[in-house]
Structure 1
Amino acid sequence: MSFHGLKVGILQTGTMPDALHRAHSDYDIMCRDLVGASPITTDSYRVFDNEFPEDVRDADIWVITGSRFSVLDGDEWIARLEGFIQAAYASDSKIVGICFGHQILAQALGGQVAKRRGDPVIGLERYDLLNKDGEAAPLSLHAWHFDQVETAPAQARVIMTSKDCHYAGLLYADRAVSFQPHPEFSSQYMRDLITIYAGNGLAHDLARPALASLTSTPGSDVIAAKLKDYLNIA
Protein backbone atom coordinates (compact mmCIF):
# COMPACT_ATOMS: atom_id res chain seq x y z
CA MET A 1 0.00 0.00 0.00
CA SER A 2 1.21 3.49 -0.77
CA PHE A 3 -0.26 6.92 -1.46
CA HIS A 4 1.03 7.03 -5.04
CA GLY A 5 1.64 10.52 -6.34
CA LEU A 6 0.83 12.26 -3.05
CA LYS A 7 3.08 14.27 -0.79
CA VAL A 8 3.13 13.26 2.86
CA GLY A 9 4.28 15.58 5.64
CA ILE A 10 5.41 13.95 8.88
CA LEU A 11 4.77 16.12 11.94
CA GLN A 12 7.25 14.56 14.38
CA THR A 13 6.15 15.24 17.95
CA GLY A 14 8.99 13.44 19.71
CA THR A 15 11.98 11.17 19.32
CA MET A 16 12.94 7.76 20.65
CA PRO A 17 15.43 7.30 23.52
CA ASP A 18 19.01 7.99 22.39
CA ALA A 19 20.09 4.47 23.24
CA LEU A 20 17.74 3.03 20.61
CA HIS A 21 18.72 5.21 17.66
CA ARG A 22 21.50 2.91 16.49
CA ALA A 23 19.21 -0.12 16.21
CA HIS A 24 15.97 1.53 15.05
CA SER A 25 14.67 4.21 12.70
CA ASP A 26 13.12 7.22 14.41
CA TYR A 27 9.40 7.88 14.63
CA ASP A 28 9.16 9.91 11.44
CA ILE A 29 10.63 7.04 9.42
CA MET A 30 8.40 4.48 11.15
CA CYS A 31 5.34 6.54 10.20
CA ARG A 32 6.60 7.07 6.67
CA ASP A 33 6.96 3.32 6.26
CA LEU A 34 3.47 2.75 7.67
CA VAL A 35 1.82 4.90 5.00
CA GLY A 36 4.11 3.57 2.27
CA ALA A 37 7.75 4.50 1.77
CA SER A 38 7.62 4.61 -2.04
CA PRO A 39 6.72 6.17 -4.44
CA ILE A 40 5.34 8.92 -2.20
CA THR A 41 7.28 12.07 -1.36
CA THR A 42 7.77 12.79 2.33
CA ASP A 43 9.09 15.70 4.36
CA SER A 44 9.60 15.58 8.12
CA TYR A 45 9.17 18.48 10.54
CA ARG A 46 10.38 18.31 14.14
CA VAL A 47 7.43 20.25 15.52
CA PHE A 48 8.51 19.44 19.09
CA ASP A 49 11.53 21.66 18.28
CA ASN A 50 9.19 24.29 16.80
CA GLU A 51 10.05 23.31 13.23
CA PHE A 52 6.77 23.71 11.36
CA PRO A 53 5.75 23.69 7.70
CA GLU A 54 5.21 27.10 6.18
CA ASP A 55 1.72 26.25 4.96
CA VAL A 56 -0.90 23.54 5.54
CA ARG A 57 -0.95 23.05 1.75
CA ASP A 58 2.70 21.93 1.71
CA ALA A 59 1.49 18.29 1.86
CA ASP A 60 -1.54 16.31 0.76
CA ILE A 61 -1.49 14.18 3.91
CA TRP A 62 -0.18 15.11 7.34
CA VAL A 63 0.91 12.32 9.69
CA ILE A 64 1.25 13.20 13.38
CA THR A 65 3.57 10.84 15.25
CA GLY A 66 3.67 9.47 18.76
CA SER A 67 5.70 11.15 21.50
CA ARG A 68 7.01 10.88 25.04
CA PHE A 69 5.35 14.25 25.68
CA SER A 70 1.76 14.71 26.82
CA VAL A 71 -0.79 16.78 24.93
CA LEU A 72 -1.74 18.12 28.37
CA ASP A 73 1.70 19.68 28.95
CA GLY A 74 0.63 23.10 27.68
CA ASP A 75 3.89 23.82 25.85
CA GLU A 76 3.94 26.53 23.19
CA TRP A 77 4.69 24.08 20.37
CA ILE A 78 1.70 21.94 21.36
CA ALA A 79 -0.66 24.91 21.13
CA ARG A 80 0.93 25.84 17.80
CA LEU A 81 0.42 22.30 16.54
CA GLU A 82 -3.26 22.41 17.52
CA GLY A 83 -3.65 25.55 15.44
CA PHE A 84 -1.90 23.90 12.51
CA ILE A 85 -4.18 20.87 12.77
CA GLN A 86 -7.28 23.06 12.81
CA ALA A 87 -6.08 24.89 9.69
CA ALA A 88 -5.14 21.65 7.92
CA TYR A 89 -8.49 20.08 8.76
CA ALA A 90 -10.27 23.12 7.34
CA SER A 91 -8.28 22.79 4.12
CA ASP A 92 -8.22 19.88 1.67
CA SER A 93 -5.37 18.10 3.51
CA LYS A 94 -5.87 14.64 4.97
CA ILE A 95 -4.61 13.83 8.48
CA VAL A 96 -3.38 10.62 10.16
CA GLY A 97 -2.72 10.66 13.92
CA ILE A 98 -0.93 8.06 16.02
CA CYS A 99 -0.98 7.95 19.86
CA PHE A 100 0.02 11.54 20.73
CA GLY A 101 -1.20 12.42 17.24
CA HIS A 102 -4.52 10.70 17.93
CA GLN A 103 -4.95 12.67 21.13
CA ILE A 104 -3.94 16.10 19.85
CA LEU A 105 -6.14 15.70 16.77
CA ALA A 106 -9.12 15.03 19.02
CA GLN A 107 -8.18 17.87 21.37
CA ALA A 108 -7.72 20.33 18.50
CA LEU A 109 -11.15 19.47 17.06
CA GLY A 110 -13.13 19.82 20.28
CA GLY A 111 -12.61 16.54 22.13
CA GLN A 112 -11.13 16.04 25.59
CA VAL A 113 -7.97 14.18 26.61
CA ALA A 114 -7.18 13.14 30.18
CA LYS A 115 -4.74 11.09 32.21
CA ARG A 116 -5.82 7.50 32.56
CA ARG A 117 -7.45 6.72 35.88
CA GLY A 118 -5.59 3.42 36.18
CA ASP A 119 -2.23 2.09 35.07
CA PRO A 120 -0.81 3.09 31.69
CA VAL A 121 -1.60 0.78 28.79
CA ILE A 122 1.66 -0.83 27.68
CA GLY A 123 2.24 -3.96 25.60
CA LEU A 124 0.46 -5.88 22.87
CA GLU A 125 -3.22 -5.08 23.35
CA ARG A 126 -6.37 -6.56 21.84
CA TYR A 127 -8.67 -4.18 20.00
CA ASP A 128 -11.93 -4.43 18.11
CA LEU A 129 -11.82 -2.81 14.68
CA LEU A 130 -15.33 -1.67 13.78
CA ASN A 131 -16.79 -1.48 10.29
CA LYS A 132 -19.52 0.93 9.15
CA ASP A 133 -22.20 -1.40 10.53
CA GLY A 134 -20.52 -1.63 13.92
CA GLU A 135 -19.37 -5.21 13.39
CA ALA A 136 -16.11 -5.92 15.21
CA ALA A 137 -12.97 -7.72 14.02
CA PRO A 138 -10.30 -8.52 16.64
CA LEU A 139 -6.88 -7.00 16.16
CA SER A 140 -3.72 -6.88 18.27
CA LEU A 141 -1.52 -3.77 18.25
CA HIS A 142 1.28 -2.37 20.37
CA ALA A 143 0.27 0.31 22.85
CA TRP A 144 2.03 2.72 25.19
CA HIS A 145 -0.01 5.54 26.66
CA PHE A 146 -0.64 7.30 29.95
CA ASP A 147 -3.28 9.65 28.50
CA GLN A 148 -6.25 8.93 26.27
CA VAL A 149 -9.25 10.54 24.60
CA GLU A 150 -12.11 10.75 27.08
CA THR A 151 -14.59 12.68 24.90
CA ALA A 152 -14.47 12.41 21.11
CA PRO A 153 -15.14 15.40 18.86
CA ALA A 154 -18.73 15.54 17.62
CA GLN A 155 -17.70 14.85 14.03
CA ALA A 156 -15.70 11.71 14.86
CA ARG A 157 -16.89 8.11 14.57
CA VAL A 158 -15.39 5.33 16.70
CA ILE A 159 -13.66 2.73 14.50
CA MET A 160 -11.56 0.97 17.13
CA THR A 161 -12.16 0.22 20.78
CA SER A 162 -10.77 -1.91 23.62
CA LYS A 163 -11.52 -2.77 27.23
CA ASP A 164 -9.05 -0.11 28.40
CA CYS A 165 -9.66 2.56 25.76
CA HIS A 166 -13.09 3.19 24.26
CA TYR A 167 -11.87 5.82 21.78
CA ALA A 168 -8.92 3.81 20.45
CA GLY A 169 -9.58 4.75 16.82
CA LEU A 170 -11.50 7.69 15.38
CA LEU A 171 -12.55 8.51 11.82
CA TYR A 172 -13.49 12.04 10.79
CA ALA A 173 -15.49 11.34 7.60
CA ASP A 174 -12.79 10.90 4.95
CA ARG A 175 -10.71 13.85 6.20
CA ALA A 176 -8.79 12.35 9.11
CA VAL A 177 -8.21 9.09 10.93
CA SER A 178 -6.32 8.38 14.14
CA PHE A 179 -5.33 5.53 16.43
CA GLN A 180 -4.34 5.37 20.09
CA PRO A 181 -2.09 2.28 19.65
CA HIS A 182 1.13 2.17 17.61
CA PRO A 183 0.73 0.29 14.31
CA GLU A 184 4.12 1.74 13.27
CA PHE A 185 6.03 -0.05 16.10
CA SER A 186 7.81 -3.30 15.31
CA SER A 187 7.81 -6.07 17.90
CA GLN A 188 11.54 -5.67 18.44
CA TYR A 189 11.27 -1.93 18.95
CA MET A 190 8.44 -2.42 21.46
CA ARG A 191 10.53 -4.98 23.34
CA ASP A 192 13.58 -2.71 23.39
CA LEU A 193 11.52 0.29 24.49
CA ILE A 194 9.98 -1.56 27.43
CA THR A 195 13.36 -2.98 28.42
CA ILE A 196 15.13 0.38 28.43
CA TYR A 197 12.46 1.97 30.63
CA ALA A 198 11.99 -0.96 33.03
CA GLY A 199 13.01 0.30 36.46
CA ASN A 200 13.83 3.67 34.90
CA GLY A 201 10.49 5.43 34.68
CA LEU A 202 8.47 2.25 34.24
CA ALA A 203 7.84 0.10 37.29
CA HIS A 204 8.99 -3.51 36.99
CA ASP A 205 5.51 -4.76 37.89
CA LEU A 206 4.24 -2.97 34.75
CA ALA A 207 7.21 -3.84 32.55
CA ARG A 208 7.07 -7.59 33.22
CA PRO A 209 3.49 -8.18 31.96
CA ALA A 210 4.08 -5.77 29.09
CA LEU A 211 7.06 -7.84 27.92
CA ALA A 212 5.13 -11.06 28.48
CA SER A 213 2.34 -9.79 26.20
CA LEU A 214 4.65 -9.68 23.18
CA THR A 215 3.91 -13.21 22.06
CA SER A 216 2.41 -12.66 18.60
CA THR A 217 2.78 -10.47 15.54
CA PRO A 218 0.74 -7.25 15.68
CA GLY A 219 -1.84 -6.53 13.00
CA SER A 220 -0.12 -3.37 11.75
CA ASP A 221 -0.52 -4.44 8.14
CA VAL A 222 -4.31 -4.34 8.57
CA ILE A 223 -4.17 -0.67 9.59
CA ALA A 224 -1.72 0.17 6.79
CA ALA A 225 -3.98 -1.49 4.23
CA LYS A 226 -7.07 0.40 5.42
CA LEU A 227 -5.60 3.92 5.48
CA LYS A 228 -6.45 4.64 1.85
CA ASP A 229 -10.03 3.48 2.37
CA TYR A 230 -10.44 5.53 5.52
CA LEU A 231 -9.23 8.66 3.74
CA ASN A 232 -11.04 7.86 0.47
CA ILE A 233 -7.87 7.95 -1.61
CA ALA A 234 -8.04 6.19 -4.97
Structure 2
Amino acid sequence: MSLRICILETDHIRPELVERYQGYGRMFEQLFERQPVPASFEIFNVVEGHYPPAGERYDAYLVTGSKADSFGSDPWIAPLKAFLLARYNEGAKLLGVCFGHQLLALLLGGKAERAHQGWGVGTHQYSVGAKASWMAPAADGLTLLISHQDQVTALPEGATVVASSAFCPFAAFQLNDQVLCFQGHPEFVHDYSRALLELRQMNLGEQVYKAAVDSLVHDHDGATVAEWMMRFVAQGK
Protein backbone atom coordinates (compact mmCIF):
# COMPACT_ATOMS: atom_id res chain seq x y z
CA MET A 1 0.00 0.00 0.00
CA SER A 2 1.31 3.44 -0.93
CA LEU A 3 0.90 6.27 1.57
CA ARG A 4 -0.70 9.52 0.43
CA ILE A 5 1.07 12.54 1.88
CA CYS A 6 -0.10 16.16 1.66
CA ILE A 7 2.82 18.61 1.70
CA LEU A 8 1.82 22.05 2.96
CA GLU A 9 4.48 24.35 1.54
CA THR A 10 4.92 27.42 3.76
CA ASP A 11 7.37 29.50 1.74
CA HIS A 12 8.93 30.23 -1.63
CA ILE A 13 12.64 29.60 -1.90
CA ARG A 14 14.96 32.42 -2.91
CA PRO A 15 14.45 33.39 -6.59
CA GLU A 16 18.08 32.74 -7.49
CA LEU A 17 17.71 29.12 -6.25
CA VAL A 18 14.39 28.23 -7.91
CA GLU A 19 15.82 26.98 -11.20
CA ARG A 20 17.94 24.36 -9.48
CA TYR A 21 15.80 23.42 -6.45
CA GLN A 22 12.23 24.40 -7.52
CA GLY A 23 10.74 24.58 -4.02
CA TYR A 24 10.55 22.96 -0.61
CA GLY A 25 7.74 20.66 -1.70
CA ARG A 26 9.83 19.30 -4.54
CA MET A 27 12.85 18.92 -2.24
CA PHE A 28 10.74 16.77 0.09
CA GLU A 29 9.49 14.68 -2.83
CA GLN A 30 13.08 14.01 -3.87
CA LEU A 31 14.00 13.11 -0.30
CA PHE A 32 11.13 10.67 0.20
CA GLU A 33 11.75 9.03 -3.16
CA ARG A 34 15.04 7.78 -1.71
CA GLN A 35 13.48 5.89 1.21
CA PRO A 36 11.85 2.44 0.97
CA VAL A 37 8.26 3.05 2.16
CA PRO A 38 6.01 3.57 -0.91
CA ALA A 39 4.37 7.00 -0.89
CA SER A 40 2.88 9.59 -3.20
CA PHE A 41 2.74 13.33 -2.61
CA GLU A 42 0.62 16.36 -3.40
CA ILE A 43 1.97 19.86 -2.76
CA PHE A 44 -0.13 22.88 -1.76
CA ASN A 45 1.46 26.29 -1.22
CA VAL A 46 -0.48 27.71 1.72
CA VAL A 47 1.24 31.12 1.44
CA GLU A 48 -0.69 31.45 -1.83
CA GLY A 49 -3.85 30.15 -0.15
CA HIS A 50 -3.79 26.71 -1.77
CA TYR A 51 -5.23 23.78 0.22
CA PRO A 52 -6.58 20.32 -0.60
CA PRO A 53 -10.21 20.20 -1.81
CA ALA A 54 -12.79 20.02 0.98
CA GLY A 55 -13.27 16.44 2.10
CA GLU A 56 -9.99 15.19 0.62
CA ARG A 57 -8.04 13.18 3.19
CA TYR A 58 -4.43 11.98 3.32
CA ASP A 59 -2.44 9.55 5.44
CA ALA A 60 -0.42 12.50 6.77
CA TYR A 61 0.06 16.25 6.40
CA LEU A 62 3.62 17.63 6.36
CA VAL A 63 4.31 21.29 7.17
CA THR A 64 7.57 22.56 5.62
CA GLY A 65 10.11 25.11 6.74
CA SER A 66 9.68 28.84 6.16
CA LYS A 67 11.47 32.13 6.68
CA ALA A 68 8.36 33.27 8.58
CA ASP A 69 8.16 33.05 12.36
CA SER A 70 5.77 30.39 13.64
CA PHE A 71 4.61 32.91 16.24
CA GLY A 72 4.28 35.68 13.64
CA SER A 73 1.21 37.42 12.28
CA ASP A 74 1.60 36.74 8.55
CA PRO A 75 -1.96 36.58 7.17
CA TRP A 76 -1.63 33.00 5.89
CA ILE A 77 -0.57 31.55 9.27
CA ALA A 78 -3.97 31.73 11.02
CA PRO A 79 -5.79 29.78 8.25
CA LEU A 80 -3.00 27.18 8.30
CA LYS A 81 -3.32 26.75 12.07
CA ALA A 82 -7.09 26.34 11.74
CA PHE A 83 -6.63 23.74 8.99
CA LEU A 84 -4.06 21.77 11.01
CA LEU A 85 -6.11 21.87 14.20
CA ALA A 86 -9.10 20.49 12.31
CA ARG A 87 -6.98 17.66 10.90
CA TYR A 88 -5.51 16.93 14.35
CA ASN A 89 -8.98 16.77 15.90
CA GLU A 90 -9.99 14.31 13.18
CA GLY A 91 -7.07 12.08 14.20
CA ALA A 92 -4.87 12.77 11.15
CA LYS A 93 -1.13 12.32 11.38
CA LEU A 94 0.90 15.53 11.25
CA LEU A 95 4.58 15.98 10.39
CA GLY A 96 6.56 19.19 10.86
CA VAL A 97 10.00 20.40 9.84
CA CYS A 98 11.66 23.60 11.15
CA PHE A 99 8.82 26.18 10.91
CA GLY A 100 6.37 23.26 10.82
CA HIS A 101 7.98 21.75 13.94
CA GLN A 102 7.58 25.06 15.77
CA LEU A 103 4.06 25.78 14.49
CA LEU A 104 2.71 22.37 15.51
CA ALA A 105 4.32 22.71 18.95
CA LEU A 106 2.62 26.09 19.38
CA LEU A 107 -0.71 24.89 18.02
CA LEU A 108 -0.85 21.96 20.43
CA GLY A 109 0.02 23.89 23.59
CA GLY A 110 3.80 24.27 23.52
CA LYS A 111 5.92 27.36 23.00
CA ALA A 112 8.23 28.64 20.24
CA GLU A 113 10.23 31.86 20.22
CA ARG A 114 13.40 33.56 19.03
CA ALA A 115 16.28 31.53 20.44
CA HIS A 116 18.75 33.26 22.75
CA GLN A 117 21.37 30.86 21.35
CA GLY A 118 21.25 32.73 18.05
CA TRP A 119 21.30 31.26 14.56
CA GLY A 120 21.64 27.53 14.07
CA VAL A 121 23.23 26.89 10.66
CA GLY A 122 25.33 24.26 8.90
CA THR A 123 25.26 20.71 10.22
CA HIS A 124 24.31 19.89 13.79
CA GLN A 125 24.54 16.71 15.86
CA TYR A 126 21.72 15.46 18.11
CA SER A 127 21.37 12.65 20.60
CA VAL A 128 18.41 10.36 20.04
CA GLY A 129 16.70 9.67 23.36
CA ALA A 130 13.68 7.65 22.28
CA LYS A 131 13.08 4.12 21.06
CA ALA A 132 10.17 3.17 18.83
CA SER A 133 9.37 0.54 16.22
CA TRP A 134 9.16 3.18 13.48
CA MET A 135 12.73 4.32 14.19
CA ALA A 136 14.30 2.05 11.60
CA PRO A 137 17.11 2.14 10.83
CA ALA A 138 17.97 2.56 14.51
CA ALA A 139 20.31 5.41 15.46
CA ASP A 140 21.68 6.77 18.74
CA GLY A 141 22.41 10.12 17.11
CA LEU A 142 21.46 12.22 14.11
CA THR A 143 23.35 14.79 12.06
CA LEU A 144 21.08 17.18 10.18
CA LEU A 145 21.44 20.32 8.11
CA ILE A 146 19.84 23.26 9.92
CA SER A 147 18.90 26.88 9.30
CA HIS A 148 16.89 28.52 12.10
CA GLN A 149 16.91 31.36 14.61
CA ASP A 150 13.72 30.27 16.42
CA GLN A 151 13.27 27.21 18.60
CA VAL A 152 10.62 25.24 20.46
CA THR A 153 11.14 26.16 24.13
CA ALA A 154 8.27 24.17 25.67
CA LEU A 155 6.65 20.99 24.38
CA PRO A 156 2.92 20.29 24.21
CA GLU A 157 1.60 18.33 27.17
CA GLY A 158 2.25 14.62 26.71
CA ALA A 159 4.92 15.08 24.02
CA THR A 160 8.11 13.01 24.07
CA VAL A 161 11.56 14.30 23.12
CA VAL A 162 12.95 12.25 20.23
CA ALA A 163 16.24 14.13 19.63
CA SER A 164 18.09 16.87 21.48
CA SER A 165 21.32 18.78 21.91
CA ALA A 166 22.62 21.40 24.31
CA PHE A 167 22.01 24.01 21.60
CA CYS A 168 18.50 22.75 20.78
CA PRO A 169 16.95 20.72 23.63
CA PHE A 170 13.67 20.01 21.80
CA ALA A 171 15.11 19.22 18.37
CA ALA A 172 12.51 16.54 17.62
CA PHE A 173 9.36 15.45 19.38
CA GLN A 174 6.52 12.95 19.13
CA LEU A 175 2.98 13.41 20.41
CA ASN A 176 1.37 10.00 20.83
CA ASP A 177 1.10 8.22 17.46
CA GLN A 178 -0.19 11.32 15.70
CA VAL A 179 2.50 14.04 15.52
CA LEU A 180 6.22 13.83 14.66
CA CYS A 181 8.37 16.94 14.19
CA PHE A 182 12.02 17.81 13.55
CA GLN A 183 13.82 21.14 13.85
CA GLY A 184 16.49 20.09 11.34
CA HIS A 185 15.98 19.93 7.57
CA PRO A 186 16.13 16.35 6.26
CA GLU A 187 15.21 17.64 2.78
CA PHE A 188 18.22 19.97 2.49
CA VAL A 189 21.32 19.00 0.54
CA HIS A 190 24.77 20.40 1.19
CA ASP A 191 24.85 22.61 -1.90
CA TYR A 192 21.54 24.22 -0.97
CA SER A 193 22.75 24.87 2.58
CA ARG A 194 25.97 26.37 1.23
CA ALA A 195 24.02 28.66 -1.11
CA LEU A 196 21.77 29.81 1.77
CA LEU A 197 24.80 30.53 3.92
CA GLU A 198 26.37 32.66 1.20
CA LEU A 199 23.13 34.64 0.78
CA ARG A 200 22.88 35.20 4.54
CA GLN A 201 26.57 35.76 5.27
CA MET A 202 26.15 39.42 6.26
CA ASN A 203 23.28 38.62 8.64
CA LEU A 204 25.09 35.72 10.26
CA GLY A 205 28.41 37.41 10.94
CA GLU A 206 31.78 36.05 9.86
CA GLN A 207 32.37 33.73 12.82
CA VAL A 208 29.00 31.95 12.60
CA TYR A 209 29.20 31.84 8.80
CA LYS A 210 32.68 30.29 8.74
CA ALA A 211 31.85 27.66 11.39
CA ALA A 212 28.73 26.70 9.46
CA VAL A 213 30.56 26.38 6.14
CA ASP A 214 33.29 24.30 7.81
CA SER A 215 30.62 21.99 9.29
CA LEU A 216 29.39 21.06 5.80
CA VAL A 217 32.20 18.50 5.54
CA HIS A 218 29.94 16.20 7.59
CA ASP A 219 27.36 13.90 5.99
CA HIS A 220 23.78 14.21 7.22
CA ASP A 221 21.03 11.76 8.12
CA GLY A 222 18.14 13.21 6.15
CA ALA A 223 17.39 9.85 4.53
CA THR A 224 17.08 8.22 7.97
CA VAL A 225 14.66 10.90 9.16
CA ALA A 226 12.63 10.52 5.95
CA GLU A 227 12.29 6.78 6.53
CA TRP A 228 11.34 7.36 10.18
CA MET A 229 8.62 9.77 9.10
CA MET A 230 7.11 7.39 6.59
CA ARG A 231 7.28 4.44 9.01
CA PHE A 232 5.63 6.62 11.66
CA VAL A 233 2.80 7.36 9.24
CA ALA A 234 2.53 3.74 8.10
CA GLN A 235 2.27 2.23 11.59
CA GLY A 236 -1.26 1.07 12.31
CA LYS A 237 -2.26 1.16 8.63
Task: Give the TM-score, by structure 1 length.
Answer: 0.90
Which shifted more, 77-86 or 27-36?
A: 27-36
> Greater relative contact order: 1 or 2 (C-alpha under 8 angstroms, separation 6 or more)?
2
- Alignment of 1:227 with 2:229, yes or no, is yes
Cα distance change, pair 136–59 in 1 and its aligned pair in 2 (3 A): closer
Pick the aligned partner of 1:30 from 27, 31, 36: 27
How many percent identity over aligned positions? 29
2:5, 2:201 → 1: CA distance?
35
Cα distance change, pair 36–55 in 1 and its aligned pair in 2 (3 A): farther
Deviation at residue 136 of structure 1 after TM alignment:
7.5
Q: Name the counterpart of 2:161.
A: 158
Deviation at residue 207 of structure 1 after TM alignment:
1.2
Q: Name the counterpart of 1:72.
A: 71
Deviation at residue 149 of structure 1 after TM alignment:
0.5
1:114, 1:155 → 2: CA distance?
20
Cα distance change, pair 55–151 in 1 and its aligned pair in 2 (3 A): farther
1:150, 1:166 → 2: CA distance?
8
Q: Once the two structures are superposed, what CA deviation does each residue of 1:153-209 show, in whole Å capped at 9, x if it has no partner?
A: 00311101011111100111111100001011011111111112212x332332111
Deviation at residue 233 of structure 1 after TM alignment:
5.2
Task: Give the TM-score, by structure 2 length.
Answer: 0.89
Letter in 1 for 2:22: S
Q: Once the two structures are superposed, what CA deviation does each residue of 1:43-87 show, in whole Å capped at 9, x if it has no partner?
A: 211111222223374322111100111112112211111111111
Q: Which 5+ residue runs of structure 1 have no aligned equivalent?
A: none
2:66, 2:229 → 1: CA distance?
21
1:163, 1:74 → 2: CA distance?
29
8 Å CA contact 1:57–1:88 kept in 2: the answer is: no
State the secondary structure of the residue aligned to 1:143: strand
1:75, 1:141 → 2: CA distance?
28
Q: Name the counterpart of 2:108.
A: 109
Aligned length: 229
Cα distance change, pair 7–123 in 1 and its aligned pair in 2 (3 A): same
Letter in 2 for 1:78: I
Letter in 1 for 2:69: S
Pick the aligned partner of 2:8 from 5, 11, 35: 11
8 Å CA contact 1:82–1:108 kept in 2: the answer is: yes
Letter in 2 for 1:215: V
Cα distance change, pair 77–34 in 1 and its aligned pair in 2 (3 A): same
State the secondary structure of the residue aligned to 2:213: helix
Cα distance change, pair 225–40 in 1 and its aligned pair in 2 (3 A): closer
Cα distance change, pair 128–176 in 1 and its aligned pair in 2 (3 A): same
8 Å CA contact 2:102–2:112 kept in 1: the answer is: yes
- Alignment of 1:190 with 2:193, yes or no, is yes
Q: Once the two structures are superposed, what CA deviation does each residue of 1:107-163 show, in whole Å capped at 9, x if it has no partner?
A: 111111111012211110011122238x98122111111111111000311101011
1:179, 1:216 → 2: CA distance?
19
Q: Which 5+ residue runs of structure 2 have no aligned equivalent?
A: 133-137
Cα distance change, pair 187–86 in 1 and its aligned pair in 2 (3 A): same
State the secondary structure of the residue aligned to 2:174: strand
8 Å CA contact 1:56–1:91 kept in 2: the answer is: no
